[in-house]
Amino acid sequence: MTLIDGKATAATIKAEIKAEVERIVAAGGKRPHLAAVLVGHDGGSETYVRNKVLACEACGFRSSLIRYEDTITEAELLDCVKQLNEDADVDGFIVQLPLPKHISEQKVIEAIDYRKDVDGFHPINVGRMAIGLPCYISATPKGILELLRRYDIETSGKKCVVLGRSNIVGKPMAQLMMQKQYGDATVTVCHSRSRNLREECLAADIIIAAIGRPEFLTADMVKPGAVVIDVGTTRVPDATRPKGFRLCGDVDFANVASLCSHITPVPGGVGPMTICMLMLNTLAAGKREYYQ
């Protein structure tokens, strides 16, 4: 069994990005600039944005953090998006989700210039991804593709089961695993209404679990030699931990790991790759790799 080390892979990729940025700057090019918009004081969002700013520093990017109280109106936030769209120095930007209830997340996402949408949530990027055109691919599925590639895991022609059909993980993951230039696999998507989920998983060469149900995937659902990618990160109360909780994946790791050819741990698997892929998208934005 090979443990897929997302933390080490992410560190390697960040070092690669930094080296490329320094080459670009040394050749007279522009340092990539990522802006992040944070509304309110949600603990999780504060942590994510702080980690994104730190990742920018590690990659040699310029970063800007724009903060608003959660009393900001939708019109004011849309105006901020417009200004960032027009700011020639900003190569890419994100609006950290979730937003307060009185603001339409979809409206905000659609207001972002798709050429600066490094989160890959704008319908133009989602649509281009679905038909295999160059675009920003959202960070979590992109990170999983990168892990599969860097661990030389053969996906072409394999049977892949994706558990979950959310817009940010399950759906794009299934699309990418299906496409010839990415996974090239035969893909089945399971969700809360799937009836034969255990049998589907048992037949799979690759299982990507993204449902947010702690230890849902048990040993009796996994074929020996399968590759298991665990996207789940649920906070489970744990009095022995300093923060009072631990992060739990969707896979019963203790009993599944020995069956697998490869498996990602939680934490330290998919999670660290996510911010790292935002950095790769920002580098691409700085280089105008997908759009002029």
Per rule CB under 6 A, is residue 271 in the interface with ligand NAP?
Answer: yes
C-alpha of 144 from chain center: 8
- The single residue listed with the structure tokens 């980690």 is 51
Q: Determine the interface stretch with ligand NAP among 23-31, 114-122, 125-133, 160-168 (rule: CB under 6 A).
A: 160-168
Instruction: Give the nearest distance from C-beta 277 to ligand NAP in angstroms.
Output: 9
User: Would residue 155 be called left, alpha or beta, if left means φ above 0 and alpha means ψ between -120 and 50 degrees?
Assistant: alpha
CB 260 within 8 A of CB 225: yes
Q: Which is nearer to ligand NAP, 90 or 94 (CB)?
A: 94
| The two three-digit tokens of residue 84, written as one number | 């960032």
Per rule CB under 6 A, is residue 6 in the interface with ligand NAP?
Answer: no
| The two three-digit tokens of residue 204, written as one number | 């799979």
Q: What is the DSSP string of 51-77?
A: HHHHHHHHHT-EEEEEEE-TT--HHHH
Instruction: Give the nearest distance from C-beta 10 to ligand NAP in angstroms.
Output: 11
Q: Which is nearer to ligand NAP, 186 or 194 (CB)?
A: 194
Per rule CB under 6 A, is residue 211 in the interface with ligand NAP?
Answer: yes
Please choose, from the candidates 97, 168, 188, 165, the residue with its C-alpha nearest in 3D space to the C-alpha of residue 126.
168
Question: Exactly one of 5, 96, 175, 230 is catalytic; which is it?
Answer: 96
Strand stretches in 32-169, DSSP E: 33-39, 62-68, 92-95, 159-163
Q: Determine the interface stretch with ligand NAP among 67-75, 112-120, 255-263, 270-278 (rule: CB under 6 A).
A: 270-278
Per rule CB under 6 A, is residue 212 in the interface with ligand NAP?
Answer: yes
Per rule CB under 6 A, is residue 192 in the interface with ligand NAP?
Answer: yes
Q: Is 96 a catalytic residue?
A: yes
Q: Which is nearer to ligand NAP, 89 or 238 (CB)?
A: 238
Report cis status (omega within 30 of 0) of the bond before 265: no
The one among 51, 64, 166, 261 contacting ligand NAP by CB under 6 A: 166
- 270-to-4, 9, 68, 160 alpha-carbon distances in Å: 9, 10, 30, 17
Site map 124..143 versus ligand NAP, x via CB under 6 A: ----------------x---
Q: Is 292 a catalytic residue?
A: no
The one among 10, 80, 168, 277 contacting ligand NAP by CB under 6 A: 168
* Backbone φ and ψ of 151, nearest 5°: -95, 15
Per rule CB under 6 A, is residue 207 in the interface with ligand NAP?
Answer: no
Instruction: Give the nearest distance from C-beta 170 to ligand NAP in angstroms.
Output: 5
Q: Is 175 a catalytic residue?
A: no
Q: Which sequence positions are flagged as catalytic?
A: 52, 96, 119
